[in-house]
Amino acid sequence: MNKRWAVGLIVLAQWMGTSLWFSPNSAADDLMSTLQIGNTQFAWLLAATQLGFISGTLWLAYSGWADKYSSSRMFALSCVAGALANAIFSSPWSGYESGLVIRFAVGLSLAGIYPLGMKMIVGWVGNKSGAALGLLVGMLTLGTALPHGVKALGATLPWQSVMQVSSVLAVLGAGLVYFLGDGPYLKKAVVSGRALGEAFSVFKIADFRASAFGYFGHMWELYAFWAVLPWLAAQWLSDARLVYPNLGLSVAALSFGAIAIGFLGCVLGGRLSLKFDSVHIAAGALLASGLMCLLYPLLGPDWLILRLAVLLAWGFFVVADSPQFSAVAARSCPAQLVGGALALQNSIGFLITIVSLTLLLSMIERVGSQALWLLLPGPVLGLLGLWPLLKKTRLTVAGGG
C-alpha cells in the first residue's frame, strides 16, 4: 500500500479509537445527573481510565507483546474490546461502582491503541516519522478539545448516545487497520515475555534516555495545563467583561480554542521536522511553553490582549513537542523494541500527569494563577534531560550536511 494512504488510515483509526478516551467529558453534566454523582466522583471515572491506560502500557512493555505481535491486529482488537466496554458502561444496568471498573477496562484497551498507533506510523514511515506523528498527535489533541467544543455549541445529546457513538467509531477504526499490516520498517521481536528489568533496559540507550526525560518533563506540564484551562478561561473572561461587557465568548469556547490550537502546533512541528532534526523541534517547543508558563502569572488584569495571546501560544507549544519526542524515542532504540519502548514511555509519562494534575488542581483556587509555576519544573528538567542529545545533534537543515 502507498505510504501516504497507510498513514492516513492509521491517523483516522487512531482518532476513532481514542474517542473512547474523551467520550465521558463530552456529556459530563448529563452523566453526573443520571448516576447521581458529583465532580469528585466524576474525576475518579476519568482517573480510572488513566490508571487502566498506565497499567496496560506497562504490561505491553513488560510482556513484549507490543513488539511480538502484529501492531495492526492488536490495535484493531483493542478498539473492539474498548468499544464493547464503553457500550456496557452506557447500558441501563451499569452504575457508578461498576463504571469505575469498566472505565479501567477502557483504559486498558487504549493502551493497545495509542502507543501501537505510533508504532504503526514508524513502521510505515521509518526514522523520519516526526511529520506523520505530528498529524497523529494533533488529531488526539483535537479529540481532547472536542468536549469543550461540544459544550460551547450547546449540544445536549444524552450521555448514553455519546458513549455509543464513540463505540461505533472505535469499531470502524478497527476495520480500517486490521488488514493494513505493520509496514516495512519494523521487525517483530522474538520474545516469550521478559523480566521487568529487561523492559526498562531501553533506558541504557543514551539517546532514548535523553529523549524520554525530555518527554517526562513535557508530560508534567501538558495535562495539568489542559485540566486548569477552564479555570484560566473563566478568570480571563471575568476580567475581560469589565472592559467588554457584551463579549460573546464562553469558558467552553475559549478552552476549546486554547487546546485545539495545539493541533496546529503538532502539524507545524511535524512539517519543520522534515527540514530540522526532531530533537531541536521538541526542545524549541518545550522552551517556548516553559516561557509561557513563566510569563502568564506575571500578567495582571490590565494585560487582557497579551494574556489571551500568551494563553493561546501556550496551548500551541505545550503539545507540539510530544510527537517529536516519540519520533526521537522510536529511532533511538532497536527496531524490534520500538513498541515496548513507546508503551513504557507512555506509561511513565501518564503516571507523572496524575501527580502534577492533582497538585495543580489542589492549589489553583487557593493561590491563583501563580500556582501555574508548579508546572515550570517540567520544561526545565525536561530540557536538562534532553541536553546531552541536543549537544550531540547539530542544528542543520535536512540534506544540508
Q: With respect to residue 62, please indicate whether it lies within any of the assigned structural domains.
A: yes
Clarify whether residues 74 and 163 are in a common domain. Answer: yes
As for how many domains the chain has, the answer is 2
Clarify whether residues 172 and 267 are in a common domain. Answer: no
**Count of helix runs (H) and strand runs (E) in the chain:** 17, 0
Clarify whether residues 192 and 144 are in a common domain. Answer: yes
| Grid cell digits, residue 231 | 479555570
Choose one of 201, 228, 244: the last residue of a domain: 201
Clarify whether residues 188 and 238 are in a common domain. Answer: no
Clarify whether residues 10 and 53 are in a common domain. Answer: yes
- d(CA 110, CA 75) in angstroms, rounded, equals 9
Q: What is the pLDDT of residues 103-149, one digit of tens each?
A: 999 999 999 999 999 999 999 998 788 999 999 999 999 888 988 88
Choose one of 152, 179, 201: the last residue of a domain: 201
Q: Which portions of the chain are predicted below pLDDT 70?
A: 1, 155-156, 187-198, 394-401
Clarify whether residues 180 and 245 are in a common domain. Answer: no
Residue 253 lies in domain: 204-392
- pLDDT of 144: 87
Clarify whether residues 218 and 343 are in a common domain. Answer: yes
Rg (CA), the chain: 20
Clarify whether residues 197 and 225 are in a common domain. Answer: no
Read off the pTM.
0.90
- d(CA 108, CA 115) in angstroms, rounded, equals 12
Clarify whether residues 264 and 383 are in a common domain. Answer: yes
Name every residue whose Cβ is closer than 8 Å to that of residue 227 and which is 6 or more positions away in sequence. Answer: 357, 360, 361
- pLDDT of 12: 94
- d(CA 278, CA 262) in angstroms, rounded, equals 17
> Which CATH number is 224's domain given?
1.20.1250.20
Choose one of 155, 175, 201: the last residue of a domain: 201
| Grid cell digits, residue 331 | 529511532
| Grid cell digits, residue 332 | 533511538
Clarify whether residues 173 and 264 are in a common domain. Answer: no
